[in-house]
Amino acid sequence: MIAAILIFVLAGLAEIGGGYLIWLWLREGQSAYLGLIGGIILALYGVIATFQIFPTFGRGYAAYGGVFIVLSILWGWGIDKKSPDLYDWIGAAICLVGVSVILWAPRN
């Protein structure tokens, strides 16, 4: 399970970080090189996500989606300096409950 969590976190950081660099380029007028690097990092995210241990694509990506939401809130807090409010935290907790159900539900 620790390996799965690490892959989720690495994939999330790659997706958010790559998207953020493209955001800086297109929305904040930063260098096009940031956009290029962001695109490369986003492609790397696609590779990282395939290392997940889930037997099906959809279930693995669904679980990752909840982790991505939490990481996005943390990114906004740490990088953009936008403090999450109570509803951000409640939404993140709901997502983690959903991820837990997807990951640990008893299946045949």
pLDDT tens-digit map of 6-36: 999 999 999 999 999 999 999 999 999 999 9
Check: CB of residue 43 under 8 Å from CB of residue 37: no
pLDDT at 4: 84
- Distance, CA of 56 to CA of 9 (rounded, Å): 19
Tokens of 40: 């490369």
Other residues' Cβ atoms within 10 Å of the Cβ of residue 98 = 15
- Distance, CA of 48 to CA of 39 (rounded, Å): 14
Candidates 14, 42, 25; CA nearest to 6 is 14
Q: pTM above 0.85?
A: yes
What does pLDDT average to over the chain? 93
